[in-house]
Chain A
Amino acid sequence: MAILEVEGVTKRFGGLVAVDSVSFSVEKGEILGIIGPNGAGKTTLFGLISGFLPPTAGDVRFEGRSIVGTPPHLLVKQGLVRSFQIVQTFADMSTLDVVTTAALVRRPLREAIDYAALILERVGLSGKEFLTPKQLSLQDKKLLEVAKCVATDPRLILLDEVMAGLTLAETEAPLAVVRELNAQGVTIVMIEHVMPVIMRAAHRMIVLNFGAKIAEGTPQQILEDKAVKDAYFGDHIDA
């Protein structure tokens, strides 16, 4: 059963078509990877799905219902949460307070605090509960982004480059969290640039270029796809 259906979604900023009639669906329990060169419209697509940007045309359905026009905080309550590519820091709140705020979506305060502490431990941030996000390393900030999402008890998580900027060794921790979540039945859509990571994690992938979907398939199929090679390396290489 499809948990998320994106149908002909288009986003225009003036004359620029950032997302061009993109359609795909995500099955419940799946890990879907989204790749594409810089400026391909990946993050804009997440903005359209998560309610931060209204699409110019097209429809997005979450668990069968259209969610176009639903504000982001209500989507979180319905079980759809996103992370940000540019880590969103909270200047004055401790990491525990930030994750507690997220956990408040479904819990009373006392439980939310305990749950937040548990999640911080699970993603590997124990001992850093009382630091503010700006005191964290990039790797820990990314883990905090994941922890915030997890604390809202989502059924679908959109992860926007949570591995970017990390060394391959550093991606182990967030990757383990993603897999554990998935094993618990959470559906995951992830934008990622670190190819070895996404090749290992994703069940299925789609590729965007200039706002349009140019390929879809298993990681193996994507690697061998002619259009994908052209998008990344230019079509003169094969000649």
Chain B
Amino acid sequence: MRPDFWPALRSPIPWALLALAATMPFLLPNYYLHILTITLVYAALASAWNIVGGIAGQISLAHSLFVGAGAMLASALLVKLGINMWLGMIIAAAASAAMGAAVSFIDYRFRLGHLSFALITMAFAEMAEIYVTNTEFLGGASGLFLPKDKGDLLAFQFGGINGVYWIMLGMAAACVAVNFAILSSPLGYNLRSIRDNENAAQAIGVGLLRNKTLAMTISAVLTSIIGTIYARYLAFVDPYLLVSPVLTIEIVLFATVGGLGTALGPALGAFILAPLGEILRGHLGGFLPGLHYFVYGLVVVGVILLMPAGVWPSLRDRVLRKPAAAGN
């Protein structure tokens, strides 16, 4: 670990923020708590994606594969075979890890460049959607209904929105912490050197296959677990929402606006854009159809023009007044 990792973890600020966030179910009406929960899902997803897309610079568009595995596979195992959803979550995470490793191997074997990697992972995502909507076991095109949430923790039931909110809060915090831990470890140095220049990275002893596979596997496992929790929250798993390449595009957008490759940026991006999207839709959607998309698009374009490196790096450099070098 880099010398600044443990002091940061011991600092009271993140823990205080986390404690404050944990009180939200007692303060917010359900509609806003719902928005906040969705935001946490996206913050966690964007952070998990950042390990591959930001720190390692591999623009993966295959992450709907892992969300889908976590959501659809764990749900199908429960509904069709009666397998406990905790176990289903682990099986789905293992399946995601295997798929992630396979994607990394294909990338290594065929020396895909950045553009080819993005396109091929997108092709995987499209295939996954077609496969899931045509596979009866996974719910097919109509999706799956999960049994009612009775608050039985052993059965992966969290007792409604409050419980799911707390679980997602923990998951999002864990994803950010994993990002920070990676950036503070040799893996982070290796991945950043791969992002910047693969040949030069190899020339100083950084193995491409090992490091990329490790990043993809960690990211896939986290993403899959988020997918399982999200499925439990939605109670109805819809392949056109959860295995959709559109979902990945949203994740990539949030991470990019927040600040690629930084530990906090992707979560911050989700916290800015996800509630904005929901609230705009809630307030403008009934007024003039499509207006909320227009305003949302303006905000995204504005942020990217004003802060091309992302919101978090811009804020950090403005506050600390030092060149963006440290990477977290």
Contacts and interface: CB of A to CB of B under 8 A. Distances in A.
Interface of A: 50, 52, 71-74, 76-77, 81-84, 88-94, 97-98, 100-102, 104-105, 108-110, 112-113, 130-132, 148-149, 151-152
Given A88-B197, A88-B199, A97-B327, A102 B204 contact: yes
B196 A72 contact: no
Contacts of B206: 73, 101
B205 A94 contact: no
Nearest to B309: A92
B116 interface: no
A132 B190 CA distance: 16
B327 A151 contact: no
A217 to B, nearest CB: 30
A94 B322 CA distance: 12
A145 to B, nearest CB: 9
Given A76-B203, A89-B197, A130 B189 contact: no
A109 B186 contact: yes
A97 B192 contact: yes
B286 interface: no
Contacts of A81: 203-205
B306 to A, nearest CB: 20
Size bracket of the B interface: 20 to 34
B2 A73 contact: no
B325 A97 contact: yes
A97 B324 CA distance: 12
B200 interface: yes
Nearest to A96: B325
Contacts of B203: 50, 52, 72, 76, 81-84, 88, 148
A98 B193 contact: yes
B202 A71 contact: yes
Given A100-B189, A109-B185, A91 B196 contact: yes
Given A73-B205, A74-B207, A109-B2, A92 B186 contact: no
B323 A132 contact: yes
A113 B2 contact: yes
Given A90-B193, A109-B2, A104 B205 contact: yes
A14 B60 CA distance: 34
Given A71-B202, A104-B205, A152-B204, 7 more contacts: A83-B203, A90-B193, A101-B189, A105-B205, A130-B325, A132-B323, A148-B200
B195 interface: yes
A109 B325 CA distance: 17
A186 B326 CA distance: 32
